[in-house]
Each structure stands twice: as C-alpha cells, then as structure tokens.
Structure 1
C-alpha cells in the first residue's frame, strides 16, 4: 500500500462512527515546517486555560498512540487499542479499505469525542486539501486555520512547484474562518494563499517578523513581544523550545487564539504565559545528555532533530552553529538517516563542514507505512565522503541507532542525530518515557 490521498474513505469511517468530529471545536494546522510546533503551543495554551484539549500530530514518535494527546498527555494504551480496534473493524466490515493514516485520524477523533474535549488541535498529515484530517467538522467547528512555512516537499503527491503545494495546503481553509499565516513565506506562496483566502472569504492575518517587538533592558537582556488585540503585549522569550525560528511559530499560535478569542473566554494573558512555559515538543532541537547513551557522567550534548528536508536542514544548521561556537575546534559529529525519497547530498551539504565526523544510520520498518524506507547507508557514506573530503572522517558502527550514538559520543564534540523523525523515534524508544 502507498500513500492514497482523498476524503471519501475517512468520511465513511467517521459516518459509521456517527461523526465524532462534530462534537468539539478545532484548530487546524498545515504547512511544510513548523506545524507540529504550532500545534504544541496551541494545545499547551488551551490546556492551561482550563479547556479539555486534544492534540493529533504526525508522524508519531515510538508508537501511534503518542500522536494522540489529551490534556498534554499521550492517551493510554488501553484506550488507544480499544478505539483503534473499533475503527479497524468498521473499515473492514464496511469494505472501506481505509489507509493506516485514515484509521489513525479516525481513532484520534473518536477518542476526542469519548473524552469530551472542548478543543482539538489537529495537524495535517500531508498537504491539506485531500488529507484525512480535512474532514467535515460541524458548522462553526473550526475556530481557526494556521498555515506555517511552506517549501518543496512530497512533490510526487502535492505538485512540482511551491505554488501547487501551497494550493494543496490552503485546502484547510473554511469559509469565513480566520486564517493565520507565517509571514516568512515567499511572495509567490503568499500570493496563492491570498487568492485562495479570497475565494473562501477568509479573514487573513499574516504574522511577519516586524510583528515582533524586541526590547533590551538595562542589563542587556533581550525580550521579544507580540502585540495582540485581546491580551495586550505577550512575551515570547520564555519558550522552552530551541531555535530562533520558534518565536515566529509561537507568534502564529498566539495570533490564532487571539483571532478566536470570542469563542475562548477562559484564555487569559496568564494562561498564555503558562502555556508557553510548559510547551514540550520532543524530537525537534531536543538537547539530551550524552550520559543517557554512554551510562557515565560525560558532559556532552546530543541534539535530536527530525529535520528531513532542505528548509528544515537550513534551520538546523543555524542552530548547530551555536553548538560549534562552544567547542574547541568547532567540529560536530553527525548521525544521519534519511528517507529514500530525499536528496541526501543536498540536505547534508547544508549541515556538514570540513573537519566534522559522520556516522551513517538507518531505521527499521515504519508501522503501517511499508513504502517508507531509509536511504542505503553506503549512499550516505559516499555523499559524506565527498562533502568532508576524507573517508577518514566517515565512521561506521554495525549496530542499533543508540549503539551508533554511544560510539559517536567518544569524540570530544557535540553529537547531532537528524535526517528523519523515524530515526529520532528509534532513539527516543530506547530512552525513558519522560523524554516523550
């Protein structure tokens, strides 16, 4: 089975379940990069505002149930297995033949219904227009749509140009429902978003870097603030997520809530601040101690990041520069695995620098997605050798991912594990659950 976009199958499953998605309100988030972070901010703020909150994101880490959260905690295995089993039986009984992602989407929506959530924060899986999450929520059910940064990704399914891809992502727009747009998108992307918003009569708010006000106090401490209509000035500087780009993601989340404030009376400046401080988003610029892999007290960082495309690799490279500055020789040790449809040399050229070390890695079969396969490690080794200019800097460990990381930690440099969320998922699967 391969990726099969369309809304008919998931609609049939939901109809058989008596349309659970019509029992709660929704924030729907699409984009190429940043949409998961926006969902994490949104759900944390809503939960801190005394709202029963569901969140559905993809791809999942470790196990499908980790893609579904209630009040910032993954749903229990018992609940997940019960509902997922029901959804599978409905699909089989009615000969719907729903895909694994459609079954997971229906499972999330049914769980949200059973747990009586007030708000569901839903991340698009692929594209938007024909994605399984783009189902018929009840009239007035969608409080806001968010479109994050858009770039070239999944061209085989969404189109060969950013304009085509953007049009697929704007498919989540609902008539008269406000849309929040990440302002760092190129003009041609914004043009398509504007045109499609006009067709749907959607109020459009673009969050640009100029929307953020930077202030420096007498001690040289910089704060970044966002002005809102409903909550006054909100400081973004307390976000616990790494990466300067997170300020814009957070600004998009707060703006979406600001635009829907009439339907969210329990949200206050205080609950927004609490939501920001308590946001967690594993596998994205996640700093861990090397001791988790080596078992000793080695003072060294291991950075996990699911960067899997050119745009995300650029953001990762910017952040890694801060790690390079704190090392003796500015070198980094990389552990990389990429999916088979990626241009490995283009992505790796944004990351690797002469003098770095490189370990090729892989990942195992992805549950329910047999078409997802890693690039052969020999191909990664060849690309790294060309970029580093020496095969001596390309190392190899015949073992599991966490064994590769343990070996990488022998070197006196930061270790960066990246290239695929499926790789990151394998790493986290071997660590205590507190990191999820």
Structure 2
C-alpha cells in the first residue's frame, strides 16, 4: 500500500487493540529537517534523567524495528515481531486496511504500552495534521510539541506552498500545550505557526540563533551556550553529533524540556549534559574511517549523511566544505543515490563542484515501502557529467553500496555517501553494530 494520510484507520486500529492500562506522556516533533536529531537529543536527555523512555522515528535505518527504541536501544526482534504480527492481524480481522506506516506506528505505541514507559518521543512521519502519529495519547497527554525547520518537501501530499506545508506541520499542536519553534524558519512559515498556535491557545517559544551565546571559557575553549529558566546555562558544544546546525536542534530539544520542567522533576543540569554527550543519531553527518571499508590503514574519512532534499543538501554542503579545506586539492568523491521522486540535478548542484568525482549508487527494496525506488543510475550519471563537465569524473562500479565505497576510497580524498537514508541504511547494515 502506498502513502495515504488520515487518522481514521490508525485510530480504529488502536481502538481494536484496546485501551492501555497505563498511558505515557509525549513529546511530539514535526518539521522538514532536523526533527530526527531533536528526537534523538530529547530521548537521550530523558533517559539520562532516570525516565523509562521510548522513541519512535522515521524513516528507519536498516529495519523497521530500528525505528522503535526503549531506553536508547532498538527493541528486541522477538518483541517487535510479536507485536507487529498482532497489529497486522488486527488490521486484517477488523478490515481496517491500515498502511505500512500506520501498522508501524501502532506497533510502536503498543510496545510502549507493554513496556510501561514513562515518556515517549515521537517523530512525525509525513506532515503532521493527518499523520498516523497524531493520535489521542490518552491520559498521559502531550508535554510539548516541537516544530523544526520547514521546507518544500512532499508537495504532492502536503501542498505546493510553504504556507500549506506549515499548516500541515502545525496540526500536531495540542490545546494549551507549549510549542517550541526552530528560529531559522521562513517568515511566511513563522506567520502560519503563530496563527495556528493562537487558535489552540498554545504558548510559543521561538529558539533563534541569537538565543545561543558563543563565548570562550576559562581554558580558552570556544563554546556555544544556551541560557534556560530551569537549568541555568547549558553548554551545547558537548554534543558528539557533527555539524554546527546541531546546536539549534539541541537548543530546541532543551527548550522543550525547559518548558515542561514542572512535570519532569528528575531532569537536572547534570542529566541534560549526560544526555547531550551520549546522543547518537546514525547516518547524519556520521564520520567513519575508510579502513572500515578497505580493511587497510587508509586514513581518509567517509561521511554518511541521509540528506535527501534541497534544504538538507545545503546543510551538508556547508559541512563538506570543512572536509575540502583539509585536502590537498579540495576534491570530494561522492557516492550518491536518490529516491525516484527527487529532482536529482537540483540536489546534486548544491553539492558537486568541478573536479569532484562521482559514483552513482542505488539501493534495494525498502521493507514495507514498495513504492520507494531509487533513481536510475544512468540518470544520475547524466546529471553528474553535466555538472562536473567531464566524463572521466563520473565512475561506475558494479556491486553493493559498500563495494562502491571501497573503490571510491582508492582516490585518497574524503568520500561522502549521501542522497538517501535508504542508501545509508544499506551501508550501516554492513558495518559493526557500534555504528548504530
């Protein structure tokens, strides 16, 4: 089944599974880019604050069960398979005909109920207003919602304008519940956010770049800090995630917790710091050593990033510039795959520079999402040749993603693997679990 937005099927499915004996509280996160990172920070901080924490994010890495975590670890395969089987059979028995994502959402919530979690961090799948995650969370209620950066994406489902798309994202707002907003949003998006928040009487806190203080500590180390009402000054530079943009994502996560502090008495400045330090978010500006692919002593970096739209590609490009400056000739070797509904040339033009090398890649069938298919590698080659201006810069290797990366590493320049989280998933599936 393809994408089909709406709350009727998932609501019927959850009702058929019966109301839980114990509910939980929720942080709900929507946006175009950055929402996964915000969820990762939120769940890590809450777990370090002695709260039994569930997290549901999408799209998944490697396998659908990796989208569901309890206390920062993917749920056990036996538990996932058992609950997912139950949910699928319930959908069939009740003639609900739930979509794959609705089945996965119901599986996540049922697992959370069974494990008796205290709090869930839930990432919207697509849009927000009619996304399967936008269900009634019963007694526990929503502690806070977060709206990250919004861009033009999924227009076929959410609308053609930034205003239309933003209105879909703001659908996760709950009456009287605080909303935290990423301050780098377009002015038109911000107007819609404020308008829709006022209609739900939601207090809004906008985290702007000026909310972050850059200063040098007593040891001469430059840091980025955020002042909070409840926890004092938090050092955002403690994060292990790459990319300066993560400071804003982290600030959004901390602000959402700060606004809900009265209902989160176990959160302390110390637990926030531990949460920041221990946050993991694989496949997003994830730096690996080339020897993981070559088996020798090569020292260059391989960067994995699931950037799949223009906004994310711009952020990736900014980070890749730091890698270019560390090379002798400034060249980057790209390994890229894109989903079939993407404008490959627009995204590639934001990343590739003359002199770079390019390897087209693909990815296999995506579990439970048969409508997701990669762009043909010949189309990628054509676009790359046009952008790079030289056929010899566009290379090909038959084999799986990690075989292509192994060949790309022979050029002794940084290798960037990007364009689709499904490509990145295939790469991670062939590496040790420590990278997940």
SS of 1:138's equivalent in the other structure is: coil
Cα pair 1:22 1:141 within 8 Å, conserved: no
SS of 1:262's equivalent in the other structure is: helix
Equivalence for 1:55 = 55
Partner deviation per Cα, 1:271-326 (whole Å, 9 max, x = no partner): 00000000000000000111111111111110000000000000000000000011
Cα pair 1:21 1:138 within 8 Å, conserved: no
SS of 1:144's equivalent in the other structure is: strand
Equivalence for 1:318 = 318
- Distance in 2 (CA, whole Å) between partners of 1:171 and 1:212 is 28
Equivalence for 2:15 = 15
Cα RMSD for the two superposed structures: 1.0
- Superposed, which structure 2 residues align to 1:26-425 within 5 Å? 26-139=26-139, 141-217=141-217, 220-425=220-425
- Distance in 2 (CA, whole Å) between partners of 1:21 and 1:231 is 33
Aligned residues: 436
SS of 2:237's equivalent in the other structure is: coil
Superposition deviation, residue 412 in structure 1: 1.2
SS of 2:410's equivalent in the other structure is: coil
Structure 2 regions of 5+ residues with no counterpart?
Answer: none
Superposition deviation, residue 398 in structure 1: 1.1
- Distance in 2 (CA, whole Å) between partners of 1:93 and 1:22 is 25
Superposition deviation, residue 217 in structure 1: 3.5
Distance 1:384 1:270, change over 3 A: same
Partner deviation per Cα, 1:48-102 (whole Å, 9 max, x = no partner): 0000000000000111110000000000000000100110110011010001100
Runs (4 or more) in structure 1 with deviation over 3 Å come to 19-22, 217-220
Superposition deviation, residue 20 in structure 1: 3.9
- Under a length normalisation based on structure 1, what TM-score does the superposition of the two structures give? 0.99
- Distance in 1 (CA, whole Å) between partners of 2:364 and 2:24 is 36
Partner deviation per Cα, 1:193-216 (whole Å, 9 max, x = no partner): 000000000010000001111112
Structure 1 regions of 5+ residues with no counterpart?
Answer: none
Cα pair 1:21 1:137 within 8 Å, conserved: no
